[in-house]
Structure 1
């Protein structure tokens, strides 16, 4: 009986020793890697372009990645984000288009934006466009008009785009 207890004790010690040794192995050893905890990639604004149509002018913002929420609001004056300096675009009416979260640069700080920084346009409604900001996760674009803009906006996909259509002013409105 004594021999049986020694064998039982030796077996139990062996099991405990093996269990203790196993506990020193990292829990994730041999397991699949943990999912990345990086935040999802931020949308990148890469271009702004425009075109004239028979009854409206179209402004298109091209985005790489998922299209973020976009806001369009009338402003009295366009200002550069960060500095607050006035944007020198012609016009009496302005729209500020903001995409957030978004950037117009890569992780190294290099610009990925290939569109105009500031340009005058001579379409019936649209008179100018400027990249007014790429600051703290918000990209802003300003658009200038001689008359109060009547506009609609929508998104298109594959590739991702934000579209702003601005109706031409009535023929009797002063330009």
Structure 2
């Protein structure tokens, strides 16, 4: 019986080692005369907003290649690390998630120079907060007066993520 449990333990250890090895990404050795490739995480450096006649705009500035971005409605805004509620006015909220991305360098120095929490008084946009910068994910929360009807796109040179939220034309 003891011999069987030792075989089981060895088999489990080999399986764990094989699985762990498969998860770790392989790094190719550079060819002679070639410089090694350096993969850098996109750095989120700023967030800003503006009001226009028929829409409010939020722009997130990124240094490096634009990472995948998701936008989703949430019932409440919460800070990623603590789970505490974000104190922004509004009845409707969106979460913007950039990943892989960071708002700090590998040494921990912050590169994000934008607002961390700000109340905004535009026709639709009521506030913006940096809600997380943790383990390769940067998140923002946006607060709105009414249910936001939005479009998103990216702009290049420099890299920017843009979210436009429609509202009634205030310039007429």
Corresponding residue of 2:107: 108
The answer on whether the counterparts of 2:53 and 2:169 sit within 8 Å (CA) in structure 1 is no
The answer on whether the counterparts of 2:79 and 2:132 sit within 8 Å (CA) in structure 1 is yes
The answer on whether the counterparts of 2:54 and 2:169 sit within 8 Å (CA) in structure 1 is no
State the Cα deviation string for residues 30-89 of structure 1 (Å, max 9, x = none).
x83565365x10000000000000000000000000000000000000000111110000
Any unmatched runs of 5+ in structure 2? 1-30
Which protein shows a greater Rg? 1
Corresponding residue of 1:119: 118
State the Cα deviation string for residues 120-175 of structure 1 (Å, max 9, x = none).
0000010000000001100001100010000000000000000000001589xxxx
Corresponding residue of 1:21: none
Corresponding residue of 2:160: 161
Question: Would you identify which runs of 4 or more consecutive aligned residues in structure 1 move more than 3 Å?
Answer: none
Distance 1:76 1:104 in 2: 25
Distance 1:170 1:75 in 2: 26
Corresponding residue of 1:93: 92
Corresponding residue of 1:36: 36
Confirm whether residue 137 of structure 1 aligns to residue 139 of structure 2.
no
SS at match of 2:152: strand
TM-score normalized with structure 2 length: 0.77
SS at match of 2:48: strand
Corresponding residue of 2:18: none
Any unmatched runs of 5+ in structure 1? 1-30
